[in-house]
């Protein structure tokens, strides 16, 4: 497509809904990520239960009233980071603000105040 052609509505990508919210990708700016493919990976992971099954291999000895992130969430974040090519845990400091990773990890509540994400 040449730069002189405007983008069309067909260039909107729909993902599965999360918590009753429509998840779409478009190309008109707003929250920008180069890692949107992780949303599809997360959908596949959810269907196959890979990180959930892997997480069940661990016993969580932490006091649950102090736990912010489940073992499953920690494993999924690390695995998704590796899939995206971020080999170091240090990269997750930057990734924790990435809208695609938040969607992949089902952390939509952290994005609710952003106008690019709307209720279905």
pLDDT in tens, the chain (120 residues): 445 555 555 577 777 777 777 777 776 766 667 787 888 899 999 999 999 999 999 999 999 999 988 899 889 989 999 998 888 877 777 777 888 888 888 886 655 555 454 433
CA dist 118 and 104 (Å) reads 17
Apex 48 CA angle, 46 and 52, nearest 5: 60
């Amino acid at each position: 497509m040449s730069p002189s052609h405007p983008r069309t509505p067909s260039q909107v990508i729909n993902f599965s809904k999360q918590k009753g919210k429509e998840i779409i990708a478009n190309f008109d700016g707003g929250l920008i990520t180069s890692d949107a493919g992780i949303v599809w990976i997360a959908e596949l992971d959810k269907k196959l239960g890979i990180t959930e099954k892997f997480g069940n291999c661990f016993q969580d000895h932490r006091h649950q009233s102090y736990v912010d992130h489940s073992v499953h969430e920690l494993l999924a974040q690390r695995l998704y980071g590796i899939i995206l090519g971020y080999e170091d845990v240090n990269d997750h400091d930057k990734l924790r603000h990435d809208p695609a990773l938040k969607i992949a990890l089902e952390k939509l509540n952290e994005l609710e105040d952003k106008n690019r994400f709307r209720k279905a």
